[in-house]
């Protein structure tokens, strides 16, 4: 079941906001994703992120999905995630390679209230590891695209 969920997260991050609103016939999971946040940091590293809303029956989950891609044949190896001096509960979902590119996909779980709050202020955080620091500055509009779908706690 974890494999199906991780695969669903990975596939959802590959679609644009306008076209992603899917129901998994086999899993019963409905998912919606925001537009992609993409930022090239330097000649070697690029970061991407999406805000996801996943639901199944009466259960709902909000996730900030991250990707760090390097073009120097080294995996990012994310060890820490911080936002304003608070450690985030980062989960690595996958590491993969395509040619010379190495990528790490991960996520941070969020509550509906936090998604709504971030729709007003955006979200800045840092992923880091032995091969570098990867800053994210997610604009409020990505959270707003999903916040309208969030049910209050």
User: Which residues are registered as beta bridge partners of 69?
Assistant: 46, 103
The beta-carbon contacts of 77-80 under 8 Å, at least 24 apart in sequence, are 77/104, 77/129, 77/130, 77/131, 78/104, 78/106, 78/127, 78/128, 78/129, 78/134, 79/128, 79/129, 79/130, 80/127, 80/128, 80/129
List, for residues 24-77, the tens digit of each pLDDT value: 667 778 889 999 999 999 989 999 999 999 988 889 999 999 999 999 888 889
Residue given tokens 């899993």 in the structure block: 27
Q: Estimate to the nearest angstrom the gap between the alpha carbon of 133 and the chain centroid.
A: 17
Residue 118's pLDDT band (cuts 50, 70, 90): very high
Which whole number is the average pLDDT over 100-107?
A: 93
Which whole number is the average pLDDT over 91-109?
A: 92
Give the tokens for residue 24. Answer: 């998994």
């Amino acid at each position: 079941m974890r494999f199906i969920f991780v695969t669903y997260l990975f596939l959802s991050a590959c679609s644009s906001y306008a076209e992603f609103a899917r129901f998994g016939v086999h899993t019963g999971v409905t998912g919606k994703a925001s537009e992609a946040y993409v930022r090239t940091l330097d000649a070697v590293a690029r970061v991407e992120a999406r805000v996801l809303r996943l639901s199944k029956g009466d259960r709902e989950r909000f996730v900030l999905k991250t990707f760090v891609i390097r073009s120097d044949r080294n995996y990012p190896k994310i060890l820490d995630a911080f936002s304003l001096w608070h450690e985030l509960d980062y989960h690595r979902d996958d590491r993969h390679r395509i040619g010379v590119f190495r990528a790490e996909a991960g996520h941070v779980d969020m509550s509906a209230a936090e998604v709504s709050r971030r729709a007003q202020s955006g979200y800045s955080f840092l992923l880091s590891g032995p091969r570098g620091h990867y800053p994210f500055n997610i604009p409020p509009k990505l959270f707003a695209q999903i916040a309208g779908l969030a049910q209050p706690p």
